[in-house]
Chain A
Amino acid sequence: MIVYQGPNEDTHKLIQFFRRAAPDFKILRRLIVSQDKTVVLDVNRDTIEFPGLTFDSPGLARLLDDLGVVYSRESLHAATSTPGVVKEFGLGAVWTWGHDSV
């Protein structure tokens, strides 16, 4: 497990940390957001943890975008006001073969 210890409000720093850390992991599999943290899991269930990064953090949207997750921003914001809610996003989507050749 790797834990991010930088400031969540500095989205650039957060993303740079993630991009440096991710290559040491296997195929990324899931991202789980709870009220107090965000955790990225690879296929081995090894984790990159972001304490304090949650639904209303600007860094979360940036991280989801960086991972190519297609999610509804509206439902993400709605989760902020729902106590105890946990959201899970799959990280299995990739570009189709030859997507850039048509």
Chain B
Amino acid sequence: MELTERTLDQIKDDIRLNVVDFEDFNSRVVGAYNDGSAEKGLPADDQVARSIIPGGTGALRDFSYIAPDIPAFITENCVGCMECVTQCPDTAILGKVVEPSVLEQNLSQIGDTIERESMGAQWATTTKYFNVLEKKGVGGGKFGIFIDPSKCKGCAECVDACGDHDALKMVRKDDENLDWYKRAWNHYKTVPETPGKFINEKALADMMLAQRALLYVGGAGSCMGCGEATALRMMLAATGFVYGADNIGMVAATGCNTVYTSTYPYNPYIIPWTNSLFENAPADAMGVRARWDQLGWKNKRLWIVGGDGAMLDIGFQSLSRMFASGMDIKVLVLDTQVYSNTGGQTSTGSFKGQDAKMSAHGKVIDGKKENRKEIANIALMHKDVYVAQTTCAHMNHFYKAVMEANEFPGPAIINVFTTCQPEHGVADNMAEHQAKLAADSRSFPVFIYDPRKGKKMKERLSLAGNPNMKEDWYVNPKTGEAVDFVSFARTEGRFSKHFDKDGNPSKTLLSAKQDRLENWNLLQELAGLK
């Protein structure tokens, strides 16, 4: 008996002291998965039994074989806006600013002249990072954009984000250029981290220049162009930039986000992360928070992440309970308006008329019958909860919301429109565009509700970020046409069955449009705009 107890103690000590041997894990376990021998070659061991994956193992995953195309950087057109870096769901495209003398020194280490010139040509002279700083007399820096071919899935979201700048284009991969991309990525890694003087803390887009903001290393199993992964990266960037990687923890509710970020043995996070169940992430987080507070770790930021299925449906009670607790816990809802992970079933967040499983459009019913549940509206009726509804396309709005949520001394929730390409029926490069359109069309208005802003609702609720805030609909100045829910629906496959051969919308879709308008009018009224 005594021996057994001692053995158990030893086991406990071993677990506490040696949570995981990450060097062994990275070489033996990840190595076996990478070379395909894992299924037959790896023995069952206590690491697997404990379901522990070391941080950042996603960096060891190679996706270079999955897409035919890869972005190419056109240096002379780049303005250094960082949109491509921000919008990439896979941390496959990163930027860096370097002192010219440091770059020269680095390049001089490359013996081959053609190779040296080729790498040097990747560094742009931009107004933002060079000319402005030169004028200020502090010395400008060269700005480079580099693509990690092992992480890029070829979605072209970065090219779309680049837009009129035309500084990126998709090119066909071949053995020769793939090898060049690998060498260029290695060159990027040899250049020192962007010095602080080039990171304007007021220009939130610059945050991803800082290593401390890059807490999601890619290598996740998410779909090409996944809108969720971008939201995760951006939330971690804004939190890591201010608090550092050592002061963040994440409790994830089961869903797509947990599947693609913990597909054994690949973990894209370099922060502590846990997953319990679909329905209890807020309860789980309350336990973590309570323990952290006991330990005096008040400064650590704790985030819950879940989809609309977890937060609006299955875990709603747990979420509401957490709000009532007043605990310092933040929530990121990845609102895809559908159960993405399980094959596209309707959630309460789905739009009326949406064609999804459990409410498939057919002869008897024409998509979802109910109106959409508004989790952000419900949240702001809880006392003293910071609430934001935003999208990754509204970069500054998103970052501001995350930073304010982190500062708020209590519960906070950020509901993010996240494009799910397979379930929304949009192309891989459309996440940012569709998110912007969702807000412009009042399908998913953006807002911030900060209880600290005043005693009246209209003082606390801001609809800034939506176009034509005082009007029912935004009118596109280029076309003179109102951008409404029907115009949004025309652009997504999930609503395609609601249009007849002449392009006229169904009654259900018009009813959904009315629902969206009423939701928008309610927000206008609460914000004192109507």
Contact = CB atoms under 8 A, between A and B. Distances in A.
* Most chain B CB within a 10 A radius of its CB, from A26, A70, A72, A98: A70
Interface in B354-399: 355, 357, 360, 362
B429 interface: yes
A27 B166 contact: no
Interface string A35-54: 00000000111000000000
Contact of A74 (B428, B493, B502): B502
A93 B493 contact: yes
Contact of B433 (A86, A92, A94): A92
A20 interface: no
A71 interface: yes
Contacts of A72: 502-504
Interface string A63-102: 0000000111111000000000111101111111111001
B430 A96 contact: no
B503 A97 contact: no
A79 to B, nearest CB: 10
A71 B503 contact: yes
A78 B362 CA distance: 32
Interface string A7-29: 00000000000000000001101
Interface string B478-510: 110100000000111110100100111000000
Contacts, number: 90
A94 B493 contact: yes
B491 A99 contact: no
Interface residues of A, number: 27
B502 A99 contact: no
B212 interface: no
Interface stretch (B261-269, B286-294, B418-426, B448-456): B418-426
Contacts of B492: 93
B503 A43 contact: no
Contact of A43 (B426, B429, B481, B494): B429
B169 interface: yes
A93 B496 contact: yes
Contacts of A70: 490-491, 496, 499, 503
A97 B422 contact: yes
Interface residues of B, number: 37
B156 interface: yes
A96 B159 contact: no
A54 B169 CA distance: 28
Contact of A44 (B169, B357, B479): B169
A71 B490 contact: yes
A99 B425 contact: yes
B475 to A, nearest CB: 14
A75 B170 CA distance: 34
B434 interface: yes
B360 A102 contact: yes
B429 A92 contact: yes
Contacts of B430: 92
B429 A27 contact: yes
Given A27-B156, A92-B429, A96-B424, A102 B491 contact: no
Contacts of B472: none
A97 B344 contact: yes
A92 B155 CA distance: 12
Interface centre among B479, B494, B502, B503 (most CB of A within 10 A): B503
A29 B155 CA distance: 13
B427 interface: yes
Nearest to A85: B479
Contact of A93 (B343, B355, B425): B425
A29 B423 contact: no
Contacts of B478: 86, 88
Given A43-B170, A97-B422, A99-B425, A90 B156 contact: no
Interface string B448-466: 0000000000000000000
Interface of A: 26-27, 29, 43-45, 70-75, 85-88, 90-99, 102
12 contacts: A27-B170, A44-B159, A44-B169, A44-B170, A70-B490, A74-B504, A88-B479, A90-B433, A92-B426, A93-B427, A96-B425, A102-B362
Given A27-B428, A75-B503, A94-B427, 10 more contacts: A26-B156, A43-B156, A43-B160, A70-B496, A91-B427, A92-B433, A93-B491, A94-B425, A95-B496, A96-B355
